[in-house]
Structures are given as structure tokens and as C-alpha cells.
Amino acid sequence: MADLNEETLTDAVIAQMASTPDPRMREVMESLVRHLHAFARDVRLTPQEWLGAIDFLTRVGQACTPYRQEFILLSDTIGLSRLVNLMDDKANRTGEATEASLLGPFYRENAPEFGHAESMATRAKGPEMILFGRILDDEGRGVPNAVVEAWQTDADGAYDLQANDPEVMDMRGRYHTDADGHYAVRTLIPLGYSIPMDGPVGAMVRQQERHGMRPAHIHVLVAADGYRELVTALYLGHDANIDTDTVFGVSESLVVNLRENLPGSPVPSLPSVRYDFRISKRAAGDTTGRVGADPSKIAAE
């Protein structure tokens, strides 16, 4: 028998898991065990702390419902969701394509269709804005008939699923580019919002004295035949929390600012943002991922 101590235990665990037939599962579990044990050794985790962690994770699991995914929220608040998103983007983004961001839990299939510069705020009221620009390919040519799908909070910081009867759709819509790749979305200026703070993850964020806020943003999904689907978001630079997003979704290249009298805006009298999204041809074997893609699971994007 190999005697177990804190140095030999990790290898003993990995040796027992070596029977795993699936090579990827074996690789992932070996790495997980090594890193998790290294963490416990580094901080000299005590039995009391271990029991606290067991209790916390149990409460996270038990807070999950068909409409709330507290483990995704935990993953979001410790930066793991964004890390997976960044790695996926690095592995699969090609050419000059726009950076990805988190899809989040508020995406819904079958959003209503709108015409060029038509407003997707069909119920909510508040200060308006325009988002417009072009969908471009790797050579900078406009992509005709691309679908530009946008969704966001209303001017109070609530998504339709939070503000209305869940059957109602608002503040989301599908637009199509013209022959030169132009698109234009008329909408409300979104408001930033707090992640759900009433569960165990909210309690953790409070213990860390973090504000728990996400800066205002507009989610955008761009799809066109033969191109890689782009899942991203634009973040409004005027938001006070633009540098301290609780779920680390913001990238410099995705920060935009509202401008008055912006040339080319279909409604120059409204504050406007011009943003050209770049998409790339779909490669063979592309594993585009939608992190947090299950729309029945509500976390914090």
C-alpha cells in the first residue's frame, strides 16, 4: 500500500481515476484534482472552512430553479464564465472579427422582427437612442441580409422577463441588413442593474463589499449564412460601473459612447452609437459556444 500523506494523496486520487475510458474526462478530472488540491494546500484549508464551503455549495445548488441558475451566477462573479468565453473566442474567432461577450440568460428565441430604424421598445418608455452601423466581412465588405438581433434592459434596468408577464417580449428584436450591410436599431438607453443579491452568491458578493452591479449594455447576436455566429454586447462608456462589472463582461473594444448629431444616424436628433460589427466565414469544425445559453436559466448578464 502506498502510504497517504498530503504530498502523495493527489497522485493516489489520479491513479484511481486512470481507469476513466473517456480520455477528455480523464484529462479534465486529473487537472481539476491537481488544482483543487493545490488550492487546499496553499491556503491550508481547515475542516471548519471546508464544512463552510460544503454548506455554501449546497445552498447554491438548492437556490437553482427553472428560472434561476445560481451556479452560473457564481461562475460569473468569480470570472470563470468570462474566462471560458475569452478562450472560446480566441480558439474560434478568425480574421478581424468583433470580440465576443457573454450571451447571458436573457436571450430568447423568436424575438419580433423590425424594419430599419424601427423601435424595439414596444411597451417600455424612456429616453431613446439609436444603434446603427454595418455588418462587415473580413475584407471590410458589407454583408447583405445578415440578421442583427438585439436585446437589453429597459430604462429601469429590467429585462422583459423580469418586468412583464413572461409571455410578453419587449426590448428585443431582429433586424436585417440592407444590400450594403447597413443596420439600424431604435431603442431605449439601457440602464445598468444589480445581479440577484438575495441568494448565497449575493451574500458572498456583499461579504466581499463589491457593488454587485453590471454596467448598461446592449446584447447583439449577428448571424449570416456561411459566417460564424457572433454573440457579443456593447457597453455604454458613461456608466459609472464600466470598469467594475461584477461579472467581468466588458472589453475595451466593446465600449461605446452616445453622441448627439452623429453623421449617418437615421435619427440624428437622438443620441446615437455607430458600431460596425465584423464577422468571419465559418470554418469547418467550428465549435462556437453560447456560454450560459439556456434561456430557461436566469443568472446575471
Query: Among residue numbers 88 through 117, which ones bind a second copy (CB under 8 A)?
Result: 88, 90-91
State how far Cα 298 lies from the chain centre. 12
- Specify whether 238 is catalytic: no
Number of Cβ within 10 Å of residue 201's Cβ equals: 27
- Specify whether 219 is catalytic: yes
Contact between 197 and a second copy by CB under 8 A: the answer reads no
Contact between 198 and a second copy by CB under 8 A: the answer reads no
Tell me the pairing of strands 128-136 and 272-274. Answer: parallel
* Rg for the chain, CA atoms, rounded: 22
Residue selected from 225, 252, 263, 285 as contacting a second copy according to rule CB under 8 A: 252
- Specify whether 214 is catalytic: yes
- Specify whether 37 is catalytic: no
Q: How far is the CB of 136 from a second copy (least distance, A)?
A: 22
Q: E strand or H helix at 91, and its extent?
A: helix 80-92
Residue selected from 129, 137, 292, 298 as contacting a second copy according to rule CB under 8 A: 292
Grid cell of 80 as nine digits: 470563470
Residue selected from 165, 209, 257, 263 as contacting a second copy according to rule CB under 8 A: 209
Q: How far is the CB of 74 from a second copy (least distance, A)?
A: 9
| Strand intervals (E) in the chain | 128-136, 147-152, 172-176, 182-188, 193-194, 213-214, 217-223, 230-236, 255-256, 272-274, 277-278
Per the residue annotation, which of 182, 219, 228, 278 is the catalytic one? 219
- Specify whether 182 is catalytic: no
Contact between 203 and a second copy by CB under 8 A: the answer reads no
Give the residue numbers marked as catalytic.
Answer: 159, 193, 214, 217, 219
